[in-house]
Each structure stands twice: as C-alpha cells, then as structure tokens.
Amino acid sequence: MVEVIPGIQTNSFEDTQEKLDILSKFAKLVHIDVCDGRFVPNLTIGAAEILKLKTNLDYNLHLMIKLDGEQIFQYGRTRAKALIFYPKTSPDPESTISQIRRSGKKVGIALDPADSVEALKEYLAQADLALILAVLSGFAGQQFQAGVLPKISQIKEINPKLVVGVDGGIKVGTASLAAVSGADFVVANTAIWEARTPEVGFWALKKDVIKS
C-alpha cells in the first residue's frame, strides 16, 4: 500500500513541535524539511532545534542544504530514520553516503525535477530510498509536475529494492497519479495543513491512493 507521509516545513521550533503533537494522533512517519537559505532561498529549523524535539513519531529529514562532513555528523545525532540529500549539494557524495550509514540512518537520494536519473544512478544503486521532487526544492504549495513520474520506473530498474516516493504538489488527484505510476510513498504538506483539519487532509489522501 502506498504510504502517505505528512510533511513539515517551518522556521519555528514551537511550530514544528506543535505539528508533531498533532500528527502523533494519526500518522506513523513524518517528513521534516531542512533548508539552509543557501541551496534553497528559505530557512527552516536545523540540527540544534531538531535534537530538542520531543516526539515518539518516526521522522525522515529532507536536507535541502549545502553539505559538509560536520553537518552530516550533526543530523546523524538526531532520531531521524533516514537522511535524504541531493548529491549535487555534497563535495563528495560517496563520503556523504558512508557518513550517513555510519550514523545508523537510511540513505535517501533526492532528485529535483531537472535532475537526471541516469546521472545519479551510481548513488541510487547504494541508497535505501529515493525522493522525486515534483516541484522545485524549497517551497510548499507549488504546481505538481507530472512529467517527473516516469522517473519512478527508471529508478526501480536501477535498484528494484529501492523505496521510491514523490514530494511536492501532492493533493487529492496527484497523490493517486503518483501511486498509479508506482510510487511507494507520497509526501504532503499543504494538502495536510490547509485541510479542514490535518487529520481530514491525511485521510483524504489515504483514500486517494487506495482507490488508485
């Protein structure tokens, strides 16, 4: 079954904690965006704040940041299940993958809409999950780019064991499109937080992927 993962993107520790508390009532896994204001223009909470979060929920970290070894060490200290990064943000993607492994986390590879699967296949072959962006990295609420969906099957040809998800522009209608195209999970932000209640938004997306 296709998993619906609520996303959080905020520059406020208090807002992040409040959203985690809300999601704990119905979600099992959360996707937290980390933006540094360099790789993408906006800025969110970072490792220091994430380390202070109090939650029993599992979460993945989507690192939209310029990477170095120290940053991976800091995010590796969090309770994240997976660290998802863009190889183009690292001076040495192979080393970054090794560092993530040593921290005990799963390795995630993120692809912007313009990123080629072929160009990243050596890293995808080593990863645990792939995150296909259907919007430009950094901002919630953008238009869904259906043209990225063929990447799902392309990635699974490279690594059939890879868990592949779609992030960006996910709502009722696009969630089912991703599911039909073979996605294992979808990440939703705006469709959750701008629904009548976050739980209503979550279950509407669950229904959408189930019917597909």
21 included as an active-site residue: no
d(CA 19, CA 152): 29
Selecting among 33, 36, 115, 208, the annotated active-site residue is: 33
Selecting among 115, 128, 167, 208, the annotated active-site residue is: 167
d(CA 47, CA 73): 10
3-state secondary structure the chain: CCEEEEEECCCCHHHHHHHHHHHCCCCCEEEEEEEECCCCCCECCCHHHHCCCCCCCEEEEEEECCCCHHHHHHHHCCCCCEEEECHHHCCCHHHHHHHHHHCCCEEEEEECCCCCCHHHHHHHCCCCEEEEECCCCCCCCCCCCHHHCHHHHHHHHHCCCCEEEEECCCCCCHHHHHHHCCCCEEEECHHHHCCCCHHHHHHHHHHHHHHC
33 included as an active-site residue: yes
Active site (catalytic) residues: 33, 167
